[in-house]
Amino acid sequence: MVKKEILISEIGGFRIGHAQDSEAVTGCTVLLFDECAPAGVDIRGGGPASRETPLLNPTADAVGIHAILLSGGSAFGLDAAGGVMKYLEERGIGFDVGVTKVPLVCQSCVFDLVIGNTYVRPDAKMAYEACENARKEETREGCVGAGMGCTVGKYRGKEYAMKSGIGMYAVQAGEVKVGAIVAVNALGDIFDIDTGEQMAGLLNETKDGFRQTEEEMYKDAAGIHDLFTGNTTIGVIVTNGAFTKTQMNKIASMAHNGYARTIRPVHTTADGDSIYAVSVGKDRCFCSSKRDKNSKYPCYIQAGSRQQASRYKTGNDHGFRWRSGSRCKWR
């Protein structure tokens, strides 16, 4: 099977929108899903700022979510999700509670308070603007949206740190498409996974080359100082594979391997490293079950915003599947 690079927009099923304040050097990025999407999350860093992540626990009742917001502002930035909620409610998108529809919106924030104006953070107005800007063909990267205030290599303070931003990448192998949107705001340095070469991070004293953060930390092992108080790399994995919420949580966990291969050190107590994983697929089930196609209890997949989904006991170790109106297509 040949792997090829694709545009993240080729995955389909969602839109990306950015909004930012260039003078304050902060912003936000929203992913709006065409239908309520099964999702998981894995938080490894010691200092996360997040919203509604318990919804993604496999034991939670929510079938899926409607949007994910990545933003600056540290915990102050969590206010911004209200703008996404407002935008979706106005369009009748959300969990139907009779009197209105409640959008299910998850959010994670990076710490960028020391980069620009400390007292200007992403708010509901900025997030609403990001929703209005959302489109399937969005491909901008770098200093835009949630990447506006991102930096890396901050162990010796912002004077020796480097500017970073938000990036996107997607590949296809056979029918499967997988993409990532990541705002890189790490305490550590960034390395090329193929060559092992340091690409960005902690600058040396003359600022014409790099120092390695891990080596500097070893030097200070006897007297650890304030690790710049806040960092965090946050991102979203999106796939057209029709996975369940439980499976998406595992995929989110696996995705942290990507952080570990490129960021050193990673998942520190000064980081809030978080990854969401979302399934926007409808037609194909990639479950590993090998049950008979003619079984009395057909396997159904969790896909889309079918809030009226009914549970079907499969009678095997897969426990419960969600019926979404389309049978699992067996491999």
Rounded-to-integer distance, Cα 137 and Cα 150, Å:
23
Q: What single DSSP character describes residue 15? A: E
CA atoms lying within 13 Å on the CB side of residue 61: 4
Q: What single DSSP character describes residue 76? A: G
CA atoms lying within 13 Å on the CB side of residue 310: 5
Strand positions, DSSP E, 72-223: 95-96, 101-102, 105-109, 151-152, 162-163, 166-173, 176-183, 189-191, 198-200
Work out the percent of the chain whose per-residue pLDDT is above 70. Answer: 82
DSSP line for 170-193? EEEETTEEEEEEEE---SSEEE-T
Mean pLDDT of the chain: 84
pLDDT of residue 311: 35
Instruction: Walk me through the domains of the chain, giving residue ranges and CATH numbers.
Output: 3-279 (3.60.70.12), 284-331 (no CATH)
Please state whether the predicted TM-score (pTM) of the whole model is above 0.85.
no
pLDDT of residue 222: 61
CA atoms lying within 13 Å on the CB side of residue 194: 0
pLDDT of residue 286: 40
Burial of 296 (0-12, 13-18, 19+ CB in 10 A): exposed
Per-residue pLDDT tens digits for 199-239: 999 999 999 999 999 888 888 876 655 555 567 899 999 99
Please list the rounded mean pLDDT of every run of 10 residues in the chain (331 residues): 92 97 97 96 87 94 95 96 98 96 97 94 98 94 97 90 96 96 94 93 94 87 58 93 94 92 83 92 48 36 35 35 35 27
